[in-house]
Chain A
Amino acid sequence: MSDIIFNLYKFLECPNLKLRCPSWVKTPSPMFVFTVIMIFYFGITSGVIYDIVLETPSIGSRVDAQGHSRPVAFLPNRINGQYIMEGLAASCMFALGSGGFIMLDQLHSRQIMPRFTRMLLTGVALLSALVAFFVCRIFVKIKIPAYLAK
C-alpha cells in the first residue's frame, strides 16, 4: 500500500498554495453597517417589493369634470395599496425623522462643538423630527380621508 502512494507522489506534485484572506477584506465598522441597514430600511418601507410584484404605476390619474386627465399622487382608500412615488415620499419622511433624532443624539454626545454648529444642528434636528411626523400624518389623511374621523 505505501509503495503505491510513494509511486504516485513521484508523478504528482503538491501545489504550493499560499491561501490567505486578501488584505482589503476587513470586518466593517458598526456605523458603516448601520448606514447599509438604513438604506435597506428606506427601500423596504417605500414598498419596493409591492411595486415589483404588483407592477403599480408611478402615479395614478383620474378624469375630472372638464374631461382633463389629472394626476393622482396617492392611491385613495386602500390601506395596502400605493403608487411608486408615494411610497418613496413616505420612506423619505421616515428616514428624515430618524435622522433628526440621530442628530439630536450626536448633538449631545459631543461636548466640544462651536456654538453656531450646535445651534444649527439643534434647529435642523428638531425641524426634521417634527416635519417628518406631521407630514406622514398629512399623507395618511390625504390617502384615507376617514382617518381619525368619528
Chain B
Amino acid sequence: MLQSKVLMRHPMLKWFLMSHEKQSYVLQLAILSLAMILSFCTRLFSVIRFGSMIHEFDPYFNYRTTKYLAEKGFYEFHNWFDDRAWYPLGRIIGGTIYPGLMVTSTALYHLLNTFNFTVDIREVCVFLAPLFSSLTTLVTFLMTRELHSTGAGLFAACCISIVPGYISRSVAGSYDNEGIAIFCMLLTYYFWIKSVKTGSLCWSACCALSYFYMVSAWGGYVFLVNLIPIHVLCLMLTGRFHHKIYVAYSTFYCLGTVLSMQISFVGFQPVQTSEHMGALGVFGLCQIYSFVEYVRSKLTKENFTALFRTILMFSLGCFALFFAVLTLSGKVAPWTGRFYSLLDPSYAKNNIPIIASVSEHQPTAWSSFYFDLHVLTIMFPVGLYYCFKNLTDHNIFVILYGVTSIYFAGVMVRLMLVLAPIMCILGGIGLSSVASTYVRNIDLTRKEDKKSKKSADNYPIKSEVALVVVCIVGAFMMFYAQHCVWVTSEAYSSPSIVLSAETAHGRIIFDDYREAYWWLRRNTPPDAKVMSWWDYGYQISAIANRTVLVDNNTWNNTHISRVGQAMSSPEERAYPIMRELDVDYVLVIFGGLSGYSSDDINKFLWMVRIGGSTPSGEHIKEHDYYTPQGEFRVDKLGSKTLLNCLMYKLSYYRFGSMYTQTGQPSGYDRVRNAEIGNKDFELTYLEEAYTTEHWIVRIYKVKKPDNRGNLV
C-alpha cells in the first residue's frame, strides 16, 4: 500500500502500476511514432544543406502542373493543352498524366491556406514525399500486424522508415509520383489482405477505393492489377478458394476497374490492353469456379462429372479461339514497350534506344541490392521461410509479392522501389520471429537457481545461446541504421540541379543550372524557343518559362531524333534544321572546365544513336564519330566528324584559350582527360549569348538569316 502511494506521487513511475497490456500498448505507440518521425527527419538532408528546392528533372514538370492546378482549378487543368512544350506539336497534359500527385498537393495546399497557414505551393511540393513516407511507415505496421504479429509490424515499420531503396525516390524535394504511389500501393495491399481475411464487402470496397487512388498516382498500378489476380489464381490452384475470396475479388475487380477508367490517361485500357487481361480472365474464372462448386453441391456425382467434362472442353476451346481472334485482329493490344521490356530485358537494348539510354532502366547488380537494402537481403529468405512454415491465404499473397518484385527489381534498377517495402515486411517477419523465439529462452535468474532445475540435458547453454542470438539481431539493426543514414546522407540527398564539391579551400556550390535558367527567364523574349537535349526540357519549362522543343516525356521519338540530328551535324547542316524548328536559343551542358561528368559530350553518343534511328537521319552513322581504332576521343586523334559537329563546337567554343589545370596545356578537358583537338574556330550561324560562372551551362543565340539572303 505504502509503495503504491509513493509510486502514485511520481507521475513517471505510474508506468509500473499499469497493467501489462497498457504498458505494451504505450510502448507500441511510442515506437511507431518514433519510426514515423524518423522517416520524416531522415529525408531532410538536402533541405538542410541546399535549401528547399525541387530536385532532378521529372519533379519540375510535376511542380509546374501543380502550380497550374492550384492557380486555375481542376477543369482548366483537366483540359490543358500545353503549347510551350514539344514546339510545334504541343502536348495534351490533361489527358496524359496521372493527376493523383497534383491533386493531393493542391488539396493539402488549400487545406493549409484555409487555416491561414499561408505556405507557398513549392513548400507543399517539397515536403509532400517525407509526409507520405511517414504514412507509409504506419501502413506497413498495420499490414505486417495483419500478416504476422505486432512485433513483426514494429520491426517492419522501423525498417521501412529508413530503407535506402525507398528513400532514394522520396527524399524532400523529390516531388515525383513514386513518393505517394508506394503509400497507395501498400494501403491497397493492406485492404486486400483485410478483405481476404474477413470476406467483408466493406473492406473490399475500401480496397477498390485505394486502388483508384493508386491508379491516379502512378503507372505502376499495372503491377497491382496483375499481382492480385495471380494471388487469387494461386489460391484456386492450391485449393484454398472459398466464398470470402470470391466476395473480395469480385468486388475489388468490378468497382476497381470502373473507378480506374475515370482517369483520362487510363481510359479504356482496362478492357483493351493485354496488361489488364489477366485480371479479367481471373474474374471470369472466379465466377465459373463458384458456379461449378454450386452445381456440384446440387447434382449427384456421375451427372456432375459428365456435365462438367463436356462444358469444360467446350468452353476452353471457345475461349482460346475468341482470345486468339481478338489478339490477331488487334482489338486487344499486346504488351507495350516499357512493360514488355520487363518480360524480355534485352528487347529495349535492341529495339528502343530511348528506353535503353536511361540509366535507371539498366538491370540491377548485386551491389545495388546490398546498397539499397543492407541486412534485409539476408533476412528476406528467412521471412519467406517463416511464411512457408505456416502457409495461410494472406501469407501466399506476401510470398507472391516478394517473388515477383525480386524478379522485376533484378530487371530494372528503378523498380528497387517496389521491392523495398516487401523486403521490409518479410525482413521484419524474419527478425521478429528469430528474436521472439530466442527471447523466450533467455533465463536471467541467478546461477544457484539454474543449477537446481537442469532442463533438457540435450540443450545445454540454452540461455547463453539465446542471449547471443538476440544480441546479434540487435547488432544487425544497429549496423543497418548506420548504413542507411550514411547512404541517405551521401548518395541520395543530392538535388542534381545544384552541385557541390569538396576542395582544399572548402566546399564549392555550383548553382549554374538555375543561374542559366533565370538568365533565360529575364533576358529573352517570352515567346523564344529553346533547343536542348530532352533531359533539360522540364527544368527549362518550369524555371525559365520558355517554350522547348523536346522534354523528358520523350513521347515523340521522331522529334527527338530531329534534335539529335541537329546536334550531330556540322553547323551548315544543322542551321536549316534549326530554322525549320524556329529555334531561337540553343542550350548545352558542358563539364570540361568544372569536371562535371554528366554533360552533353558524355551523352553525345546517345544523340547520335537516336538521331540516326529515323529516315531523315540516315546519313548519321555512329562509327563516323569514332577513331579508326574504335575509340571516342575529343583530342587531335578524334574523328573529323566529331570535331566539327554542332555539339562539339557549342561545348568547346572559346575553350581552347582556357587553362583548366596546372601542368596541362590550354583547352584541357577535365572530364575526358584530354586536350581538345579543334581549338580555334568561330561560329558562323550562332553567337554566344551566355555562359555560366563555371561554364556548366552555355546558351547560344541562333542568328536570323541575312536580309539579302547572303550569310557571310
Q: Residues of A with Cβ closer than 8 Å to B? A: 19, 27, 30-31, 33-34, 37-38, 40-41, 44-50, 52-54, 78-82, 86-87, 90-91, 94-95, 97-98, 101-102, 104-105, 108, 111-115, 118-119, 122, 126, 129-130, 132-133, 136-137, 139-140, 143-144, 146-148
Question: Can you pick out 24 interface pairs between chain A and chain B where the beta carbons lie within 8 Å of each other?
Answer: A37-B381, A37-B384, A41-B380, A41-B406, A49-B363, A49-B410, A52-B346, A53-B345, A53-B362, A53-B363, A79-B371, A80-B368, A80-B413, A82-B365, A87-B366, A94-B377, A98-B381, A98-B382, A104-B438, A105-B385, A113-B459, A115-B460, A133-B479, A148-B486
Q: Which residues of A contact B238 (CB under 8 A)?
A: 27
User: Please, what's the 1-or-0 string for B371-382, where 1 marks a CB less than 8 Å from any CB in chain A?
Assistant: 100010111111
* Interface residues of chain B: helix, strand, loop or mixed (majority): helix
Q: Which residues of B contact A34 (CB under 8 A)?
A: 384-385, 388
Q: Residues of B with Cβ closer than 8 Å to A? A: 237-239, 309, 345-346, 349, 359, 362-371, 375, 377-382, 384-386, 388-389, 391, 399, 403, 406-407, 409-411, 413, 430, 433-434, 437-438, 441, 456-460, 465, 468-469, 472, 476, 479, 482-483, 486, 490-491
From the candidates A90, A105, A111, name the one contacting B433 in the complex (CB within 8 A).
A105
CB distance from A8 to the nearest CB of B (A): 17
From the candidates A31, A46, A133, A146, name the one contacting B378 in the complex (CB within 8 A).
A133
B382 touches A80 (CB 8 A): no
From the candidates B349, B399, B407, name the one contacting A44 in the complex (CB within 8 A).
B407
How far does the alpha carbon of A136 sit from the alpha carbon of B460 in the complex, in Å? 31
From the candidates A37, A45, A119, name the one contacting B460 in the complex (CB within 8 A).
A119
CB distance from B660 to the nearest CB of A (A): 23
How far does the alpha carbon of A44 sit from the alpha carbon of B413 in the complex, in Å? 12
Tally of contacts, chain A with chain B, CB under 8 A: 157
A45 touches B366 (CB 8 A): yes
Q: Which 9 A-B pairs have the closest CB atoms?
A: A97-B378, A98-B381, A82-B365, A44-B410, A50-B363, A90-B366, A49-B363, A101-B382, A47-B365
B375 touches A133 (CB 8 A): yes
B406 touches A40 (CB 8 A): yes
B378 touches A79 (CB 8 A): no
A46 touches B472 (CB 8 A): no
Q: Which residues of A contact B388 (CB under 8 A)?
A: 30-31, 33-34
A102 touches B370 (CB 8 A): no
Q: Which residues of B contact A45 (CB under 8 A)?
A: 366, 369, 377, 406, 410
CB distance from B291 to the nearest CB of A (A): 21
From the candidates A80, A101, A115, name the one contacting B365 in the complex (CB within 8 A).
A80
B377 touches A54 (CB 8 A): no
A111 touches B456 (CB 8 A): yes
B378 touches A118 (CB 8 A): no
B403 touches A37 (CB 8 A): yes
Q: Which of A27, A49, A119 has the most CB of B within 10 A?
A: A49
B385 touches A133 (CB 8 A): no
A27 touches B476 (CB 8 A): no
Q: Given A30-B391, A80-B368, A122-B465 in contact, is the A101-B410 Cβ separation under 8 Å?
A: no
CB distance from B515 to the nearest CB of A (A): 29
B365 touches A108 (CB 8 A): no
A82 touches B367 (CB 8 A): yes
CB distance from A88 to the nearest CB of B (A): 9
CB distance from B229 to the nearest CB of A (A): 19
User: Which single residue of chain A is at the shortest CB-CB distance from B472?
Assistant: A129
Q: Given A53-B349, A94-B377, A148-B486 in contact, is the A27-B237 Cβ separation under 8 Å?
A: yes
A47 touches B364 (CB 8 A): yes
How far does the alpha carbon of A33 sit from the alpha carbon of B395 in the complex, in Å? 14
Q: Which residues of A contact B476 (CB under 8 A)?
A: 133
CB distance from B104 to the nearest CB of A (A): 31
Q: Which of A45, A102, A104, A133 has the most CB of B within 10 A?
A: A45
Q: Given A79-B367, A79-B368, A105-B434 in contact, is the A98-B391 Cβ separation under 8 Å?
A: no
How far does the alpha carbon of A27 sit from the alpha carbon of B240 in the complex, in Å? 12
Q: Which of A101, A122, A136 has the most CB of B within 10 A?
A: A101
CB distance from B193 to the nearest CB of A (A): 19
A54 touches B458 (CB 8 A): no
From the candidates A44, A53, A115, name the one contacting B457 in the complex (CB within 8 A).
A115
